[in-house]
Amino acid sequence: MGDDVSREPSELVAVRCALGHQLAALRQAAELGQQQVAHKTGYSRSSVAHAESGRQLLTRNFWKTADELVKADGALLAGYKRVQAAKQEHECQSREAELAAARARAQALHAAEYTRSIGSAPGATVLSSLLASLNGDLGPLLHLAHLAGEDGEDMIKRRLLLQAVLTGLGVGSTAAALEVVRHELNHVTVAERSAADVAEWQEIAWDYGQAYLVTAPATLLQALIVDLHGLQLAIHRHPGETDQRQLWQAGALLAAFTAQTAANLGNLVAARRWWRTARRIADEAGDSYIMFWIRGREVVRAGYEHRPVSVILQLANQAEARLDEAPPEVLPELLSGKAQTLALAGRPAEAEQALCQVRECFGKLPTAGYYRDSLFDWSEENLRFTESFIYSHLGDFTKSEQAQNAALRLYPDSNRRGPAQIELQRALCLARNGDLAHGTRHAQTIITDLPVMHRIRPIADLGQKVLDAIPAHERRQSWAQEYRECLESSFPPDRPTY
């Protein structure tokens, strides 16, 4: 959380300040100074001061350690959970309001400015009939999106037409809308000014690191569509080379989040296309952190997105060939993805070797990540997750259980997906170790208790692996049939996967 809290509701500020004041009172009662608390929790004295004044929330680990330090018997940790709940509710309401405003602006544009500005544009007279006849065929849609100003003479008309198309498509044609935006992001050259400046667009892109973990994919995708189109306009609002590179950096990150979100919604073809776009834009932007972060995320996600092991290893090896260019903080993600892939391929010696590299790289990272509780942060729970995944798939159930228990102690309360994946890996170990009924019932409980918004592609994939671990002659057992029905109802084939 930043220092500027002026836009937060008073209720959220009040609950955070109350927690800070509680910490200050307990610290003083324990006759401890702020510097002592800072030393024990791994933060600076100023961070402790900001936490006590309510200016900063800090992480769950801070409040857990502080709770133990001042002997609060769980009161500080409970207070942290209350603040997090209030914060998430506020963020959800804010994002919904932003999306509603964006839709309202697009509708107003479609009703007024679009009609006035485009007038007799070649595609305008056929917009309604074309939208009605799309039926998943992207060719006519892409043609329409390029009709206005295709010679570069009037790209404002083209922009208005594209926005009208996206508005007309609605939620039911999200895949088509995504394809239009992807092509536009690849080929856009000129557009009108955008309200957001370069710094704002960079902040928007990095904010998705936190939003991704706590937002329903369908909601996140709507926000991405709006932001991707807005970024196209910003790119041409700022023609300078430095600004262009920074905006392309934001574009590469948005494309990567779109790839992951498309896969979470069940559109694996679109996900692969967006990963390619993200890599290409990142290379154009020239930022080594973003280039390697995107490649690392793609390698980690590719196994869940049903890409061949040979393809995933090729992606990893291509990135590894340039490791001397990579910042140290992005190496664990890439090497973790490679180690997991080698485990999936049944190559234990190589998987163990890659895991050793992951541990070595992790040991060199700073103790406190700047993007804590964000997809950009690679913390100890990520390391334990990697160990759990590798040992679960290699059949070393003792080591996998140790890693699982360690990971579950580290996840922040706001992260529902990571612990669910860990527990499904535990269920997979039980099933593969012969305890089929216990394993499937455990997996069923985890999936059933998980909110629908968090049932993303990796959850579905691990759930299916538990089912696959049941031998054919056991699948008529009642517990096996119940679990199959649980998977079918939680991840129905006729509905996009959350």
pLDDT tens-digit series, residues 64-96? 889 999 999 999 988 888 888 887 777 667 666
Would 399 be classed as within a structural domain? no
Would 275 be classed as within a structural domain? yes
38 vs 27, higher pLDDT: 27
Domain identity same for 368 and 301: yes
What band does 133 get if pLDDT is binned at 50, 70 and 90? very low
Q: Which of 457, 432, 462 is nearest to 446 (CA)?
A: 462
Domain identity same for 304 and 337: yes
What band does 334 get if pLDDT is binned at 50, 70 and 90? very high
Which of 232, 259, 281 finishes a domain?
Answer: 281
**Summary mean pLDDT of the chain:** 79
What band does 131 get if pLDDT is binned at 50, 70 and 90? very low
Domain identity same for 213 and 133: yes
Domain identity same for 132 and 276: yes
Domain identity same for 486 and 360: no
Q: Does residue 55 register a pLDDT over 90?
A: no
Domain identity same for 130 and 269: yes
- What is the per-residue pLDDT for 229? 78
Looking at residue 47, which CATH number applies to its domain? 1.10.260.40
Domain identity same for 493 and 344: no
Domain identity same for 258 and 356: no
Domain identity same for 191 and 318: no
Q: Of the ranges 22-26, 39-43, 148-152, 228-232, which is most confident? A: 22-26
How far is it, in rounded angstroms, from Cα 237 to Cα 6? Answer: 29
Which of 47, 73, 92 finishes a domain?
Answer: 92
- What is the per-residue pLDDT for 225? 82
Would 369 be classed as within a structural domain? yes
Would 429 be classed as within a structural domain? yes
Would 111 be classed as within a structural domain? no
486 vs 147, higher pLDDT: 486
Would 220 be classed as within a structural domain? yes
Domain identity same for 137 and 232: yes
- What is the per-residue pLDDT for 494? 45
How many domains are there within the chain? 4
How far is it, in rounded angstroms, from Cα 111 to Cα 252? Answer: 32
Which of 281, 305, 331 finishes a domain?
Answer: 281
Would 152 be classed as within a structural domain? yes
What band does 60 get if pLDDT is binned at 50, 70 and 90? confident
Domain identity same for 269 and 299: no
Q: What is the mean pLDDT of residues 249-266?
A: 93
> What confidence tens digit (pLDDT) does each residue in 437-478 have?
999 999 999 999 999 889 998 999 999 999 999 999 999 999
Domain identity same for 146 and 267: yes
Residue range(s) defining the domain that contains residue 179? 119-281
Would 349 be classed as within a structural domain? yes
